[in-house]
Amino acid sequence: MEESKSIMNFRPEIKVLDATIRDGGLVNNFDFSDEFIRDLYKANVKAGVDYMEFGYKASKEIFDVNKFGKWKFCDEESIRDIVGENISDMKISVMADVGRCDYKKDIIDRDDSVIDMIRVATYINTMPAAIDMIEDAKSKGYETTCNIMAISNAKESDMDVALEMLGKSDVDGIYIVDSYGSIYPEQMRSLADKYLNIGEKYNKQIGIHAHNNQQLAFANTIEAVGRGVNLLDATMSCMGRGAGNCAMELLLGFLKNPKYNLFPVLQFIEKHINPLKESGTVWGYDIPYLLTGRLNQHPSAAIDFTRDRRSDYAEFYQWLLERE
Amino acid sequence: MEESKSIMNFRPEIKVLDATIRDGGLVNNFDFSDEFIRDLYKANVKAGVDYMEFGYKASKEIFDVNKFGKWKFCDEESIRDIVGENISDMKISVMADVGRCDYKKDIIDRDDSVIDMIRVATYINTMPAAIDMIEDAKSKGYETTCNIMAISNAKESDMDVALEMLGKSDVDGIYIVDSYGSIYPEQMRSLADKYLNIGEKYNKQIGIHAHNNQQLAFANTIEAVGRGVNLLDATMSCMGRGAGNCAMELLLGFLKNPKYNLFPVLQFIEKHINPLKESGTVWGYDIPYLLTGRLNQHPSAAIDFTRDRRSDYAEFYQWLLERE
């Protein structure tokens, strides 16, 4: 039976990307200690993780450097201070948002950088700008991916056009991004098939970045794997905006490639994630995120609700329904 | 596309069973206030839940009535004290464990009882005893189901025999039970198909009772629904042993039958579940449960680990691996 075969064996093409700093930084304004980042780097290398994302290449013209930790900006020196020349098998990525990155200036030639991959995040209506960023990064020598956000609200016909545009571009990988955590597994399988068709046609890898609003981030990730998706985002203990992401500890527990090792991840969580949670940094599945996810809405209202320590869920749900 | 159709529409045959007291009682020795139970009953009726399980019919010869709350025993008077004659559309169930229930004496004729359904829980090697209990309950006038526990450790050939035995019995429903929370969605789909084949052959409904060790309880439940499973167990905010169960709030948010209503569930959680958690009653997804689930082991070691407030996950994982 094909399904058993796929769960017993592994595809060497699968690559795991740790997005703890980048998506987790949205929870704490990138205010991580250097020890946290250093230990995360070591844990990822030991765990066999394929890529570690250090944060955003955000524009210092737009964002105040005094209001965010350094991983919002990912200066070359900041990364080198942690990884040196990165003499490991793990590659390094950063994310660049359309409209929030001075990419022509801030992204230097890959020969001069310790970064290996630029991931361009875009909404579907800014695809030409995203492709310009991708071509710029590609011409500088980087691996590139495009992460199309908020697709659960996009029209299918627009999606088809966007995927064709990306297919014809130089991008190496295209990510399915469930920004609102609203996608159910059977929908994820259909989406994966749609993206994989483009991937096959244009020789692109397909990736997935899931959110956990309905406790489906891990399920959606492994369902996408079952269809042929190879680039998998995860974060330590789900750390990420709102309900967080697919947990690294769940994902590495599932993947059968013997290169992956769960122990360094468990040690990292014990040493760094538990204290972070105890210090009051809040993320993860909770009722308000379920409600925005279920309604296919941005989690910002749920983040505010949680920050205000409210628990009037029924009132909140009514309010969400009325603004739809 | 069939998949979209199934997610947009609903099957009226689907029945939701609230197992909060029964599985949740394993967390707090069934020490619930009467107000909790009364409000839970009202919330379930308003939410359109189809069955509410009040607890176990445990033997008072085996279990000390002073060490457990009354829902371990579910005396007729205890249930009537909450529901009166139960003049609602919701039915009432109790669970009876093979070898731990004086069923001939303690389960009275349905005509004299407010209970509608007896769910018999068994391991695969005590199937003849389970069938004796089922026939006894059936002859007294009850709806009956059989919940075969710990199937992730059973041989497939034994499963086939057990399902054939049940098929030929008078039982109304057969549950897939993922006791250890170790089953992945693609395995759940195969299991569902196996049970549904028996269900079709012998005219039995198939059900699912999932555990959340790998954050897959909800995903596995809705994947089983997609194959044709109709009897769905859920609990308020996942309350249940160890990592808990499929969350009622997630399940009712997914089901499209307009008879289901999420608001009473949200109100119940706000009023009763949050205070219960704040009082120190602990359940739900956490690293130790992921580890036992991943290794297909009983959660008891993880429950002890959590109770002892340990966080040396790597040490614990090593210990679990060594005892395999």
pLDDT in tens, B132-172: 999 999 999 999 999 999 998 899 999 999 999 999 999 99
- Residue A63, class by beta-carbon neighbours within 10 Å (0-12 exposed, 13-18 middle, 19+ buried)? middle
- Tell me the shortest Cα–Cα distance from B155 to chain A, in angstroms: 15
Which of B218, B221, B292 should be substituted to probe chain A, the one whose Cβ sees the most A Cβ atoms within 10 Å? B218
| Sign of the CA dihedral with B205 first, then B206, B210, and B214 last | negative
In angstroms, the separation between the Cα of residue A51 and the nearest Cα of chain B is: 23
The chain B residue lying nearest A227, using CA atoms, is: B186
Cβ <8 Å between B267 and A313: yes
- Average pLDDT over chain A reads 96
Q: Is the pLDDT of residue B95 over 60?
A: yes
**B29–chain A nearest CA distance, Å:** 25
pLDDT in tens, A84-134: 999 999 999 999 999 999 999 999 999 999 999 999 999 999 999 999 999
B285 CB neighbours in chain A (<8 A) are 215, 285
The answer to whether residues B174 and B206 touch, using CB atoms and an 8 Å cutoff, is yes
* pLDDT reading at B1 higher than 80: no
Q: Which chain B residues have a beta carbon less than 8 Å from that of A218?
A: 214-216, 219
In angstroms, the separation between the Cα of residue B279 and the nearest Cα of chain A is 16
Nearest to A267 among B249, B262, B314 (CB): B314
* H or E element at residue B118: strand B117-122
Query: Do residue B287 and residue A269 have CB atoms under 8 angstroms apart?
Result: yes
* Residue A68 DSSP code: S
Instruction: Determine, for residues B185 and A223 on separate chains, whether the beta-carbon distance falls below 8 Å.
Output: yes
A6 pLDDT tier (thresholds 50, 70, 90): low
**CA-CA-CA-CA dihedral for B125, B128, B133, B134, to nearest 10:** 100
Q: Which of B237, B273, B311 to mutate to probe the A interface, most A CBs <10 Å?
A: B311
pLDDT on residue A324: 80
% chain A with pLDDT above 90: 96
The first and second tokens of residue B60, run together, are 């008072």
pLDDT at B6: 63
Q: In Å, how far is A296's CA from the nearest CA of chain B?
A: 12
- Partners of residue A212 in chain B, C-beta under 8 Å: 215
Chain A residue closest to B284 (CA)? A285
Indicate the angle between helix axes A217-227 and B217-227, nearest 10 degrees: 50
Which tens digit of pLDDT belongs to each residue from A168-204?
A: 999 999 999 999 999 999 999 999 999 999 999 999 9
**In Å, how far is A4's CA from the nearest CA of chain B?**
8
**Angle, vertex CA A220, rays to CA B296 and CA B315, nearest 5:** 35
Residues B231-241: tens digit of each pLDDT = 999 999 999 99
Of the partner residues B186, B217, B253, the one whose CB lies closest to the CB of residue A7: B186
- Both tokens of A153, joined, read 């609200």
SS3 content of chain A, % helix, strand, coil (to 5): 50, 15, 35
What is the structure's pLDDT at A3? 45
Can you give the pLDDT at residue B8? 78
H or E stretch including B221? helix B217-227
Cα of A322 vs its chain's centroid, Å: 31
Q: Which of B249, B274, B312 should we substitute to test contact with A (largest number of A Cβ atoms within 10 Å)?
A: B249
Cβ proximity of A229 and A251 under 8 Å: no
- Is B270 within 8 Å of A311 when comparing Cβ atoms? yes
Judge whether A201 and A319 are in contact, CB under 8 Å. Answer: no
- Give A32 to chain B, closest Cα distance, Å: 21
Which one of B270, B272, B319 makes the best mutation probe of the A interface by having the most chain A beta carbons within 10 Å? B270
CA distance A68 to A31: 7
Chain B residue closest in CA terms to A217: B215
> Mean pLDDT, to the nearest integer, of B53-61?
97
Q: How far is CA B194 from CA A6, A33, B120, B175, in A?
A: 19, 51, 20, 12
Note whether B267 contacts A215, CB cutoff 8 Å.
no
**pLDDT score, position B323:** 87
Measured from the Cβ of residue B322, the count of other Cβ atoms closer than 10 Å reads 7
User: A185 and B185 in contact by Cβ < 8 A?
Assistant: yes
Contact flag B184-A217 (C-beta cutoff 8 Å): no
A93 contacts: CB under 8 Å, gap ≥ 6 = A17, A51, A52, A53, A54, A115, A116, A117, A118, A119, A143
Contacts of A205 (CB under 8 A, 6+ apart): A13, A15, A145, A172, A173, A174, A199, A230, A231
Please count the residue pairs, one from chain A and one from chain B, whose beta carbons lie less than 8 angstroms apart.
120
Which residues, other chains included, contact B110 with Cβ-Cβ below 8 Å and sequence gap of 6+?
A: B116, B140, B141, B142
Asked whether B210 and B243 are in contact (CB, 8 A), the reply is: no
